[in-house]
């Protein structure tokens, strides 16, 4: 932090007065932290240290020592003052940081040097920092025996220092004083060996052996040195000598096994060494390979197979299957198995493992040859059980050949283990298999296995679609197992284009399981698209289950085929299910074609009120002849449909038809009021056509007619309007009729309006409407 002149002056005054109150101490710390306050930093550090040391302010002292080192304070006296204080307080970490600073400044006196050593000796644990400080002391004062002995002891205790370059001169000095010190001699030999100085390592070991013959640690170094030089005979001798004295030396056991493996020894003694070494280092691939070769040469095949699994797993983990080393190692192992086959041609396990290894390097066809060869053996029950056991072990390998499950299924079947056979075939039901294998195993070998639906799925999937296979696939749906159903449905989807499937698929529509599988079967008919498929879908529109009907109808909708369109049109008239007819009406209402319009016109007399309503609303958007709707209007008994028909006729450009709306209004009015003393002309012709339903209220219908007559300005409806104005109980309907008289311009209604105004019993709304209408008509 930067400081202003006032702050610097305050610090100067405090230092001159040697103040140690809290305010002054805060100023001193500010001075230590600030790069602008170089003039007083030494005095500030000393005053601050003295105060905090006296108060035992540990956190402050740690921060101050760190700041002194970071600022690289260069005053030896001040640093010595603080270092001695930390040493006396046994805060050795802080003391060593300060002594390190003094070393750089060449400021160590005799006492500081002694305290530095003692701090290093007392500090725990021994680490790189203490090691560096003592090495610098040792370099400057090589006669200091205490530093030499301390470093020597720590190097032997801590593995990270034991064989470093810095340890070599320490061991050399110790050996100058104690030539017979075997521990120092062994450590020095190991240092030389690890740094590639084999001659020096050998010389030191030989010297050490003159003091203690056959010392195992020195012999171990010699064994490793000669191994680097390729002198394997001497390595073996040294390793044996070491293990004779110290059987637990794992490094020698592994080294001996490596030498045996390098020289491809397959003796009983070598095998024992391999096995011991692998217990010590189980991931050593080369030793495992040597043990594998030894087992193979001695035809210990079970042991060899177990080693094969371990080796493949290790290689896969370390290298991956694409590495050249992996491929070459597997090929070498295959060579061993092929040699063993010539010696033991009847051992099935050899064929199995050889096939599996071929799979690992991508030689799948060669693998199949070995598998097929196994099935040529004469197999009794015991042999089949043995073969099943071997196959079950193989399918646990990392690479799984689906054909193994074919073989397993076949063998399970031969032993009558049907549930296991079924599961084995299901495992590869969806796999792409070698066609020759499918033909040989599932067709020519034993057709009794066709009892399993999974086998039939495999056959159909690989192009074997004979009648027996298709019949068997269909029969699977009579069984309760849904996994078999899924397999059959899958292969049927694979065989979309095979027309021979249609008769079988038509059978499915009558199966009890069809409601469970229709969503998978109906798309097959739609994809096939033949006349028979469309006919089947049309038949499904009559199905008792609504979901199936709807699925079949959607399939027909999606087919761009004239036959499909014709089937839908036929069902528009003939289907007994309202939901289908309604869907068909909705489908054609979305198509602005003449054909779609003709279908809708034929549906206008549908027995379902919802269908008729939908059809009329759809036709309102099309240009049509009004004659199509006269009979529908006069025979319709649903008020909502009638209203839509009225709107439809009113929207058509055919004035000669509009009078029917007026006639209908007049006739409805006559029907409405004839028992109430009302007047109005009854049109006998229309009355014969109309079939009135009992309605509690036909106001919406009358309202629609009034609106249509007003919009079309039909004067023929004036009489009916006048009757409504004078006699109806609905105030809203009467007001609509009054407003419609104005729209028509019917002056013949003036007397009716005048009579209304003379009645005191009429409401204010009626009087107002009549006044406005009368005014407009008279004008």
User: What kind and span of H or E run contains 721?
Assistant: helix 718-727
Is the pLDDT confidence value at 687 over 50? no
Range from 32-41, 101-110, 136-145, 287-296 that averages highest in pLDDT: 287-296
Is the pLDDT confidence value at 710 over 50? yes
Q: Say if residue 612 is in the same domain as residue 511.
A: yes
The separation between CA 8 and the C-alpha centre of its own chain, rounded to angstroms, equals 66
Give the pair of three-digit tokens for residue 180: 């017979």
Measured torsion, CA atoms of residues 605, 607, 609, 610, in degrees rounded to the nearest 10: -90
> Average pLDDT, stretch 397-409?
74
For 254-303, what is each residue's pLDDT tens digit? 999 999 998 888 888 899 999 999 999 999 999 999 999 999 888 888 89
Residue 764 lies in a domain: yes
- pLDDT value, residue 685: 34
Residue 753 lies in a domain: yes
> Average pLDDT, stretch 487-508?
74
> Average pLDDT, stretch 39-50?
87
Q: Say if residue 604 is in the same domain as residue 736.
A: no
| Total domains in the fold of the chain | 3
Q: Which of 378, 397, 416 is the last residue of a domain?
A: 397
Q: Say if residue 651 is in the same domain as residue 576.
A: no
Query: For the chain, what percent of residues have pLDDT higher than 90?
Result: 15
- pLDDT value, residue 676: 46
> Average pLDDT, stretch 200-221?
93
Confidence of residue 139 (pLDDT cuts 50, 70, 90): confident
CA 569, 575, 581, 587 dihedral sign is negative
Would you say 658 and 649 are in contact if contact means Cβ atoms under 8 Å apart? Answer: yes
Residue 528 lies in a domain: yes
Higher pLDDT, 19 or 383: 19
- pLDDT value, residue 371: 76
Q: Which of 379, 397, 415 is the last residue of a domain?
A: 397
Is the pLDDT confidence value at 706 over 90? no
Confidence of residue 227 (pLDDT cuts 50, 70, 90): very high
Residue 112 lies in a domain: no
> Average pLDDT, stretch 598-614?
86
Q: Say if residue 662 is in the same domain as residue 710.
A: yes
Is the pLDDT confidence value at 496 over 70? no
Q: Say if residue 649 is in the same domain as residue 763.
A: yes
Higher pLDDT, 627 or 121: 121
Confidence of residue 239 (pLDDT cuts 50, 70, 90): very high
For 342-379, what is each residue's pLDDT tens digit? 888 888 788 888 888 887 887 877 777 777 777 777 77
Confidence of residue 387 (pLDDT cuts 50, 70, 90): confident
- pLDDT value, residue 688: 36
Range from 121-130, 175-184, 200-209, 518-527 carrying the lowest mean pLDDT: 518-527
Higher pLDDT, 246 or 502: 246
Containing domain of residue 370, as a range?
A: 300-397
SS3 labels along 654-698: CHHHHHHHHHHHHHHHHHHHHHHCCCCCCCHHHHHHCCCCCCCCC
Q: Say if residue 510 is in the same domain as residue 557.
A: yes
Q: Which of 590, 622, 654 is the last residue of a domain?
A: 622
- pLDDT value, residue 693: 35
pTM to 2 decimal places: 0.50
Would you say 383 and 377 are in contact if contact means Cβ atoms under 8 Å apart? Answer: yes
For 437-481, what is each residue's pLDDT tens digit? 788 778 777 788 888 888 888 888 887 877 788 788 778 777 878
Would you say 103 and 136 are in contact if contact means Cβ atoms under 8 Å apart? Answer: yes
- pLDDT value, residue 679: 39
How many Å apart are CA 50 and CA 38, to the nearest integer?
A: 19
Residue 463 lies in a domain: no
Residue 255 lies in a domain: no
Q: Say if residue 652 is in the same domain as residue 766.
A: yes
Q: Say if residue 632 is in the same domain as residue 616.
A: no
Residue 316 lies in a domain: yes
Q: Say if residue 627 is in the same domain as residue 617.
A: no
How many Å apart are CA 661 and CA 682, to the nearest integer?
A: 14
Is the pLDDT confidence value at 398 over 60? no
CATH number at residue 701: 1.25.10
CATH number at residue 547: 1.25.10.10
> Average pLDDT, stretch 54-80?
88
For 509-560, what is each residue's pLDDT tens digit? 888 888 888 888 888 888 878 888 888 888 888 888 889 889 888 988 888 8
Q: In terms of C-beta density within 10 A (0-12 exposed, 13-18 middle, 19 or more buried), how is residue 640 classed?
A: middle
Q: Say if residue 653 is in the same domain as residue 681.
A: yes
- pLDDT value, residue 680: 39
DSSP for 386-415 reads HHHHHHHHHTTSSS--THHHHHHHHHHHHT
Q: Is 743 helix (H, G, I), strand (E, B) or coil?
A: helix
Q: Say if residue 770 is in the same domain as residue 637.
A: yes
Would you say 352 and 370 are in contact if contact means Cβ atoms under 8 Å apart? Answer: yes
Range from 135-139, 656-660, 713-717, 754-758 carrying the lowest mean pLDDT: 656-660
Confidence of residue 568 (pLDDT cuts 50, 70, 90): confident
Q: Say if residue 607 is in the same domain as residue 569.
A: yes
Query: Which of 567, 566, 510 has its CA nearest to residue 541?
Result: 567
Is it true that the peptide bond before 647 is cis, omega within 30 degrees of 0?
A: no
- pLDDT value, residue 2: 57
Query: What average pLDDT does the structure give for the chain?
Result: 82
- pLDDT value, residue 719: 79
Residue 430 lies in a domain: no
Confidence of residue 619 (pLDDT cuts 50, 70, 90): confident
Confidence of residue 231 (pLDDT cuts 50, 70, 90): very high
């Amino acid at each position: 932090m930067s400081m202003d002149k006032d702050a610097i002056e305050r610090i100067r005054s405090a230092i001159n007065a040697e103040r140690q109150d809290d305010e002054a101490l805060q100023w001193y710390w500010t001075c230590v932290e600030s790069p602008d306050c170089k003039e007083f930093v030494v005095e500030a550090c000393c005053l601050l240290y003295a105060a905090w040391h006296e108060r035992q302010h540990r956190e402050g002292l740690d921060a101050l020592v760190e700041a002194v080192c970071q600022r690289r304070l260069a005053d030896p006296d001040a640093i010595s003052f603080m270092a001695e204080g930390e040493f006396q307080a046994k805060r050795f970490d802080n003391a060593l940081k300060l002594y390190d600073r003094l070393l750089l400044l060449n400021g160590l006196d005799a006492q500081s040097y002694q305290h530095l050593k003692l701090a290093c000796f007392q500090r725990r644990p021994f680490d790189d920092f203490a090691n560096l400080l003592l090495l610098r002391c040792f370099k400057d004062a090589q006669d200091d025996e205490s530093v030499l002995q301390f470093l020597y002891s720590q190097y032997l205790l801590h593995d990270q220092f034991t064989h470093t370059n810095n340890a070599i001169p320490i061991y050399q000095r110790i050996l100058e004083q104690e030539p017979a010190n075997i521990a120092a001699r062994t450590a020095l030999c190991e240092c030389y060996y690890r740094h590639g100085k084999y001659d020096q390592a050998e010389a030191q070991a030989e010297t050490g052996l003159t003091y203690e013959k056959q010392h195992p640690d020195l012999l171990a170094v010699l064994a490793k040195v000669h191994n680097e030089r390729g002198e394997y005979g001497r390595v073996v001798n040294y390793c044996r000598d070491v293990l004779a004295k110290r059987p637990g030396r794992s490094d020698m056991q592994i080294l001996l096994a490596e030498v045996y493996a390098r020289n491809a020894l397959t003796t009983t003694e070598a095998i024992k060494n391999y096995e011991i070494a692998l217990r010590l280092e189980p991931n050593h691939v080369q030793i495992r390979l040597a043990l594998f070769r030894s087992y193979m040469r001695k035809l210990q095949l079970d042991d060899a197979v177990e080693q094969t699994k371990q080796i493949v797993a290790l290689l896969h983990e370390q290298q991956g299957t694409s590495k050249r080393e992996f491929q070459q190692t597997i090929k070498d192992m295959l060579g061993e198995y092929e040699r063993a086959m010539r010696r033991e041609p009847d051992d099935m396990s050899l064929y199995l493992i050889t096939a599996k290894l071929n799979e690992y390097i991508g030689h799948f066809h060669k693998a199949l040859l070995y598998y097929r060869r196994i099935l040529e053996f004469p197999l009794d029950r015991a042999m089949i059980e043995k073969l099943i056991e071997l196959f079950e072990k193989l399918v646990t390998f990392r690479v799984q050949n689906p054909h193994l499950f074919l073989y397993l299924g076949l063998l399970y079947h031969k032993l009558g283990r049907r549930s296991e056979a079924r599961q084995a075939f299901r495992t590869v039901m969806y796999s792409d298999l070698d066609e020759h294998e499918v033909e040989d195993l599932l067709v020519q070998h034993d057709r009794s296995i066709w009892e399993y639906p999974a086998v039939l799925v495999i056959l159909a999937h690989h192009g074997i679609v004979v009648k027996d296979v298709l019949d068997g696939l269909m029969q699977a749906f009579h069984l309760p197992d849904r996994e078999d159903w899924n397999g059959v449905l899958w292969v049927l989807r694979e065989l979309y284009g095979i027309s021979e499937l249609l008769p079988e698929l038509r059978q499915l529509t009558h199966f009890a399981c069809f409601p469970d599988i229709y969503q998978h079967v109906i798309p097959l008919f739609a994809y096939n698209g033949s006349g028979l498929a469309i006919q089947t879908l049309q038949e499904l529109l009559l199905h008792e289950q609504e979901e199936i009907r709807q699925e079949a109808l959607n399939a027909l909708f999606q087919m761009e085929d004239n036959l499909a369109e014709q089937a839908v049109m036929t069902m528009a008239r003939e289907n007994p299910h309202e939901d289908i007819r309604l869907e068909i009406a909705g489908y054609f209402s979305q198509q602005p074609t003449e054909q779609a319009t003709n279908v809708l016109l034929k549906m206008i007399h549908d027995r379902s009120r919802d269908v008729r309503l939908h059809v009329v609303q759809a036709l309102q958007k099309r240009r049509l002849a009004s004659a199509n709707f006269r009979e529908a209007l006069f025979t319709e008994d649903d008020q909502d449909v009638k209203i839509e028909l009225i709107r439809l006729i009113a929207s058509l450009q055919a004035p000669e038809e509009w009078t029917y709306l007026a006639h209908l209004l007049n006739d409805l009015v006559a029907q409405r009021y004839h028992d109430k003393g009302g007047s109005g002309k009854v049109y006998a012709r229309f009355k014969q056509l109309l079939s009135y339903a009992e309605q509690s209220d036909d106001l919406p219908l009358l309202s629609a007619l009034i609106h249509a007559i007003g919009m079309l300005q039909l004067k023929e409806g004036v009489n009916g309007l006048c009757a409504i104005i004078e006699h109806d109980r609905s105030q809203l309907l009467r007001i609509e009729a009054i407003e419609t008289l104005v729209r028509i311009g019917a002056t013949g209604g003036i007397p009716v309006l005048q009579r209304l105004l003379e009645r005191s019993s009429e409401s204010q709304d009626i009087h107002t409407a009549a006044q406005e209408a009368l005014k407009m008509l008279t004008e």
